[in-house]
A and B are shown apart, each in its own frame.
Chain A
């Protein structure tokens, strides 16, 4: 299984950050897997953003819930992250990852650095 993040590396303050994760080598429609986004500001720790099931059911971190939307497109084996009203504090490496039911995140993408700056 491979996951690959893609999207703009630079976003202006107050705009919306958009990233896509493409899943290959496995089925995004698996009934035992969940798909998530985690971020890591430069030099800092990891923060879970949210997770989605192939059916579209979502789970968000309450600290970001008002600004986050995660969606899935099973026809293209992709899931996406939108984070609105970004500020410099949202500058981070954004990872997509797979979680198997009952397991933690066990397969990660390589990460995508997104910088929020004018």
Chain B
């Protein structure tokens, strides 16, 4: 099983600032099959990034993903108020599919 470790656990920033979220895998993620999901309180997760770098339909270009192998990053430039949420990375290249524990992005 691939264990995904996200850091930091909580990130406190102000609107307009940039955010960098990290996801490290215990072993190489096959095919860069790494996704990022955003979850707001009381809502289902929403897919942001797939294939480590591709934005899902309708996702603003201030969201970008990078990385390969075992180290992946989600970058949000110019934070908007609606971006404050919990972010999960997920690998879907190997069974069982696994998620990171999440990074909470909160308003400073």
Chain A residues in the interface with B (C-beta under 8 A): 45-48, 51, 59-63, 95, 99, 102-106, 108-111
Known: A48-B97, A62-B1. 20 other contacts (CB 8 A): A45-B88, A45-B100, A45-B101, A46-B37, A46-B45, A46-B90, A46-B99, A46-B102, A61-B96, A63-B96, A104-B35, A104-B37, A104-B50, A104-B90, A104-B92, A105-B37, A105-B45, A105-B92, A108-B46, A111-B44
Count, chain B residues at interface, CB 8 A: 22
Counted as pairs of residues, one from A and one from B, with CB atoms less than 8 Å apart, the total is 53
- Selected from A45, A63, A102, the residue in CB contact (under 8 A) with B99 is A45
Q: How far is the CB of A103 from chain B (nearest CB, A)?
A: 6
Binding site for A on B (CB under 8 A): 1, 33, 35, 37, 43-47, 50, 56, 88, 90, 92, 95-102
B44, A45: Cβ atoms under 8 Å? no
Question: Which A residues are in CB contact (< 8 Å) with B33?
Answer: 102, 104
Chain A nearest Cβ from B16, distance in angstroms? 29
Q: In the assembly, what is the distance between CA of A46 and CA of B43, in Å? A: 13
- Write out the residue numbers on chain A whose beta carbons fall within 8 Å of the beta carbon of B37: 46, 104-105
Residues of B within 8 A of A61 (CB): 96
Give the docked Cα–Cα distance between A78 and B101 (Å). Answer: 30
> Of B47, B56, B99, which contacts A47 at CB under 8 A?
B99
> A71 vs B88: C-alpha distance in the bound complex, in angstroms?
27
A46 to chain B: which residues have CB within 8 Å?
37, 45, 88, 90, 99, 102
